[in-house]
């Protein structure tokens, strides 16, 4: 098991709660959050949504962090799954999703800052991410946050859509 050490979690959560653009609470997902995460992913992604098995693995075993934000009323507003590849000093944004009613309020951009912070705290130099070629919101979000498109891959998603691979290099903190 390669979970990031608690000190990293603590620093990341402190940064997240200081910088969040909305009221509520940011936490590292626990197994009790799985049902909400899977349901939200199914609402936000038309294909390749998070499965219960993937969520459980990411939360309990994977070299990854699942961050989530809940409103003051306890609703899951948004979440992201970041994976770490230490040998490549690289972090990968597997998914970020914001519930429809909470979009356009800065949460997506905030998750990109958390992604970068999580990478820096774990010594990663490179951030990578993927979005469907027709996912304008995600592509703009990434490009506005300093990512560049490094390539396109046909038939990447289960529904046959192509993906854009993106990258951003950061300095070691
Ligand atoms: C992509 C997504 C995470 C953006 O979340 P959000 O909280 O609405 O984003 P923000 O309010 O922080 O917007 C940040 C930037 O994203 C871009 N953006 C967000 N929504 C957009 C839209 N509908 N069209 C074009 N650009 C958009 C803009 O560049 C925006 O910056 P601006 O407001 O200064 O123009 C959200 O739309 C989502 O969850 N989509 C479904 C899941 C998904 O596709 N995730 C990404 C692939 S892993």
In a domain, 144, yes or no: no
Whether 16 is in a domain gets the answer yes
41: containing domain = 6-128
- 31: its two tokens: 């197994």
**Residue 163 neighbours by CB under 8 Å, 6+ apart:** 130, 131, 132, 133, 152, 153, 156, 157
Is residue 139, in this structure, part of any structural domain at all?
no
72 falls within a domain = yes
Give 126: exposed, middle or buried? Use CB within 10 Å, 0-12, 13-18, 19+: middle
Closest Cα to residue 166, out of 114, 120, 112? 112
Residue 152 lies in a domain: no
Q: Residue 107 has what pLDDT?
A: 98
Give the ligand 1 atom nearest the CA of 112. Answer: 12
Tell me the average pLDDT across 115-141. Answer: 96
Tally the domains of the chain. 1
- Is there a domain that residue 101 lies in? yes
Decide: 143 in ligand 1 pocket, CB within 6 A: no
If you average pLDDT over every residue of the chain, what do you get?
95
Residue 114: is it exposed, middle or buried by C-beta count within 10 angstroms (0-12/13-18/19+)?
A: buried
CA of 120 to the centre of ligand 1 (A): 23
| pLDDT score at 8 | 85
Predicted pLDDT at 172: 52
131 lines ligand 1 (CB under 6 A): yes
Do the beta carbons of residue 77 and residue 70 sit within 8 Å? Answer: yes
Flag whether 140 is in a domain: no
Q: Give per-residue pLDDT as tens, 39-81.
A: 999 999 999 999 999 999 999 999 999 999 999 999 999 999 9
CATH at 10: 3.40.630.30
Task: Give the pLDDT confidence of 73-120 residue by residue, as tens digits.
Answer: 999 999 999 999 999 999 999 999 999 999 999 999 999 999 999 999
- Please name the residue whose Cα sits nearest to atom 4 of ligand 1: 108
């Amino acid at each position: 098991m390669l979970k990031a050490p608690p000190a990293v979690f603590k620093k990341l959560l402190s940064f997240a709660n200081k910088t969040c653009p909305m009221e509520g609470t940011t936490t590292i997902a626990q197994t009790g959050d799985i049902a909400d995460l899977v349901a939200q992913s199914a609402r936000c992604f038309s294909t390749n949504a998070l499965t219960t098995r993937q969520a459980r693995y990411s939360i309990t075993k994977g070299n990854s962090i699942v961050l989530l934000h809940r409103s003051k009323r306890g609703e899951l507003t948004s979440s992201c799954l970041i994976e770490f590849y230490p040998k490549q000093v690289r972090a990968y944004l597997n998914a970020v999703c914001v519930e429809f009613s909470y979009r356009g309020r800065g949460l997506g951009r905030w998750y990109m800052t958390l992604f970068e912070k999580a990478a820096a705290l774990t010594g990663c130099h490179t951030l990578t991410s993927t979005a469907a070629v027709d996912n304008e919101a995600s592509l703009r979000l990434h490009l506005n946050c300093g990512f560049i498109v490094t390539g396109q891959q046909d038939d990447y998603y289960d529904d046959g859509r192509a993906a854009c691979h993106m990258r951003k290099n950061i300095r070691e903190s």
